[in-house]
Structure 1
Amino acid sequence: MRQTRSRSRALLLISAATFFSLSVWFSTNAISGALEVEKSIDESSIALLTIAVQLGFVFGTLVIAFTNLSDLINARTMFAISAVLAAATNLLVIPLESTPMLIAARFATGAFLGGVYPPAMKIISGWYTTGRGFALGTMVGALTIGSGSPHLLRSVFSENWQAVIIGSSVLAVLGGLVLKFLVADGPHDVRGAKFNPRYLLGALTKRGPALALTGYLGHQWEIYAMWAWIGSFMLYVVGEKPLLDDGLELASALTFLVFAFGAAACVYAGVWSEKIGRTATASIAMVVSGGIASFVGFLSPDSTVLIVFIVVLVMIWGAAVVADSAQFSTAMTELSDPVYRGTMLTFQTGIGFALTAVTIWLLPIIRDSSGWGWAFAMLAIGPLVGTIAMMRLRSIPEATMLAGGRR
């Protein structure tokens, strides 16, 4: 009973720390309109700021892996240091004026976030052997709502974009302190072996890990481009109007709700993955998200009824697009040698986030040439590929290693 209480407390605190620390991820997306005016940054450069964070994250995770920092530094310490440094580089958005320097600052923020998200997954795995899908789902839910928190800050501080940057940085520092000083290492923590490319190549020739990776890449093709540009789409749908008199900007508030629905869906999907299996849970989520992505952008907000319908669809999309996320990471930990769990998660995360740069860059180009419909429909390719991979994984013997045999 004491162990159950301890791990529940650890999950709560790790999730809170992740929520706080990931608030700097989309901080510039939430204030993109202000940056265009204040710093003369065009929309293509806003995309580059987001892509810089993604590529910085890949760089950070790979540096940590190849230098074996995860063994040299305790995961909680690494999380705390990285969160504080990400907060500091996030603040540079305020004084910097040139676009190249802003891109460099966002790259640095992403690199330091590479020391936040993967260590958090490792710490969670140290507390959970059973129920790991639920635990990682809860943590990814915290990541989701943390990523959306700048939109809430923007909604509240609609006339003060600097407050969004400062607020997200304060939250990131708080997250680092919470994880460092209030969370202990779990009883099932496994000291990772050195990053081993040879093991990696060998593991990826096996059907189980290869299909789990393919499913994850399909998921990543869609999710971060959707997250990066859904604020602009909501502005297109509802226009520039306040929610309450002169406060709470409606488009930003609705965008935050997209992330909030996603956070709740992550926890719910984590629970169901332990009942119906990882592959089934991930496939259902991808069918829903891919289905909505394929047509929602073609709907025109010409009337109040259509606007409400579009908003409802986007909320469902926000839930489905991330509900499957934790299941890919959990599947990879279950299909891999525990000693090389960190190697597999690092590679999966790194290559997945590198792929996100492609769709984040591509989406506004397609939107400008062909409209929101085809831009979002392009994202549906990912869930289609991911669902096929998950259904294939479910059919092979290795799937019995997932979710206690529930596949």
Structure 2
Amino acid sequence: MPALELTITKFLALALLSLAVVAALSLWFISAAILPEMLAESPISPTRQAFLSSGVQIGFVLGALGSALLGLPDRLDPTRLFATCAALAALVNAVLLVAPLGGDLAIGARVMTGVLLAGVYPVGMKIAVGWGLRDRGFLVGLLVGAVTLGSAVPHLVALGGGADWRMTVLQGSAAALVAAVLALCVRLGPYHATSPRFDPTAVARVWRDRRIRLAFGGYFGHMWELYAMWTWAGAALAASFAGDMTADDALRSARVLTFVAVALGALACVAAGYFADRIGKETVAILALAGSLAGALFAAFIFGGPSWLVAAAFLFWGITIAPDSPQFSALVADFAPPEQAGSIMTLQTALGFALTFVTVQATPVVAEAFGWRVMLALLALGPAFGLVSMLRLRRLTATGDRQRAS
């Protein structure tokens, strides 16, 4: 294929793939976005409120491990697998329209949505890296940016749905169906290849290779705060704004700001991926973790203060919380043997999302017991831990580079 034609084909494939990921991932935070309207209709306990969102995380873990064990992305066409999972997720999401609010069926639907999204996010990454070798930092950043933007969409859609939360659910399902159609139009790249199935012996390598262990540490610190912030930022902002605005205005402003904060993180992912290919993945991760740590602490400190300052804190936090995400996977791929890279990245993703189940579930409970200021400060522990891991990793890799040079 001529170079110009290949470039155009690559651009179109990545554009369609990114749009499909944004549309499909809009299902992730549907329940968090519509929770205020659901609560106005029927009381839901704080524990069940959390399960409506954290259920997606635990479902994703189960789906990712199951997909790897069965080798589904290797044995099936990834674009068809993506489309099938997106379409089924749209149907499962629609169960929220008929299920009792906060009941077992609704929570089960959220878990199954997570299972199906495991056939969207990782499969999308696999398709993306098939389009390049030297620019894979950017390609992964582009896909994670699309995931991030998709995660922000429900907060914007909830505004369009107004007080009728069921309209928001319908719009989310419609978007996932569009994603399924778009995925079928995506072409596979020239570097597309199969990955190994999950290899149980890869677990031992995680603990033997200190570089991989430290990359895992950075990822776990990142995941400690990421989905808890994305899920509950709207609730936290609404609570903070309540002192300056009416309840309706506070909720509306919180939703807009949550969308903007997460969407800015999506743009930061793409930019970070570009620079990671030039200044180093560890450096980009360190800068993002340091910024996210500062953002979390600033948000905790200023919570309940002037609304414009609280908004600025959350916007800064939103920009810095996401761009390190793709680099942890890229680092593991760099350090792991090619025949075990897929297994180790699958393990990293599964354990990271399992951790988010804990923090997403605990956030509203801790906030109700001790206040949002304490909860936001606790989230800062994650980037602090990740930052220490990544600084150690950079020292370790720098030492290895000097030894090889000598």
TM over 0.5, shorter chain = yes
The DSSP-based 3-state class of the residue aligned with 1:395 is helix
Going from structure 1 to structure 2, the CA distance change for 1:370 and 1:8 (only over 3 Å counts) comes to: same
Aligned to 1:165: 169
Structure 1 residues 210, 42: closer, same or farther in 2, change over 3 A?
same
Whether contact under 8 Å (1:158, 1:249) holds in the other structure is no
The residue correspondences of 1:7-406 to structure 2 (distance < 5 A) are 7-97=10-100, 99-180=103-184, 182-239=185-242, 240-242=247-249, 249-302=252-305, 306-397=306-397
Residue 203 (structure 1) shift: 4.4
SS of corresponding position for 1:260: helix
**What is the rounded CA distance, in whole Å, between the counterparts of 1:38 and 1:399 in structure 2?**
60
Tell me the secondary structure at the aligned position of residue 166 of structure 2.
helix
**1:374-396: CA deviation from partner (whole Å, max 9, x where unpaired):** 10111111111111111111122
Shift of 1:297: 2.2
**C-alpha contact 1:141 1:267 (8 A) present in aligned 2:** yes
SS at match of 1:396: helix
SS in structure 1 opposite 2:162? coil
CA contact (8 A) 1:262 1:319 kept: yes
Cα deviation 1:62-103 (Å, max 9, x = unaligned): 111112222221211111111111111111011001611111
The CA distance in 1 between the partners of 2:397 and 2:31, in whole Å, is 45
**Retained in 2: the 8 A contact 1:36–1:42?**
no
- CA deviation digits over 1:110-151, x for unaligned, max 9? 110111111111111111211111111111111111111111
Distance 1:131 1:164, change over 3 A: same
Between the two proteins, the alignment pairs up a number of residues equal to 394
Deviations along 1:182-224, one digit per CA (max 9) or x if unpaired, are: 2111111221223211134224421222111111011000100
Please give the alpha-carbon distance, in whole angstroms, between the structure 2 residues aligned to 1:271 and 1:159: 41
Q: Report the CA distance shift for 1:39/1:74 in structure 2 as closer, same or farther (over 3 A).
A: farther
Deviations 1:8-30 (A, max 9, x none): 22222211111011000000000
Counterparts of 1:6 and 1:205, CA distance in 2? 41
* Structure 1 runs (4+) greater than 6 angstroms displaced: 398-401
Identity of aligned residues (%): 35
Following TM superposition, by how much is the alpha carbon of 1:301 offset from its aligned partner in structure 2, in angstroms? 3.3
Contact kept, 8 Å, 1:282 with 1:324, in 2: the verdict is yes
Which amino acid is 2:313 matched to? Answer: L
Per-residue CA deviation, residues 269-301 of structure 1 (Å, 9 max, x unaligned), is 112212221111111111111122124223243
Render the CA deviation track for 1:302-330: whole Å, top value 9, x for unaligned.
Answer: 5xxx2101101100100101111111112
**Alignment-mate amino acid for residue 378 of structure 1:** L
SS at match of 1:40: coil
Aligned alpha-carbon RMSD (Å): 2.0
**Following TM superposition, by how much is the alpha carbon of 1:399 offset from its aligned partner in structure 2, in angstroms?**
9.0
Deviations 1:37-80 (A, max 9, x none): 32432333110111111000000011111122222212111111
Question: Structure 1 stretches of 5 or more lacking a match?
Answer: none
Give the residue type in structure 2 aligned to 1:97: P
In structure 1, what is the Cα distance between the partners aligned to 2:254 and 2:206?
45
Tell me if the contact between 2:198 and 2:346 (Cα under 8 Å) persists in the aligned partners. Answer: no
Change (3 A) 1:375 1:53: same
User: Conserved in 2, the CA contact under 8 Å of 1:289 and 1:383?
Assistant: yes
State the distance in 1 between where 2:398 and 2:303 align: 45
* Secondary structure of the corresponding residue to residue 189 of structure 1: coil
Kept after mapping to 1: 8 A contact 2:196/2:340: yes
8 A Cα contact 2:160 2:168, kept in partner? no
Cα separation, 2, equivalents of 1:96 and 1:109: 14
Relative to the length of structure 2, the TM-score reads 0.92
1:340-376 deviation digits (Å, cap 9, x = unpaired): 3321221111000000011112222222222112101
Structure-1 separation of matches of 2:399 and 2:230: 30
Q: Which whole-Å CA distance do the structure 2 matches of 1:391 and 1:125 have between them?
A: 27
Q: Is the 8 A contact 1:91 1:165 kept in 2?
A: yes
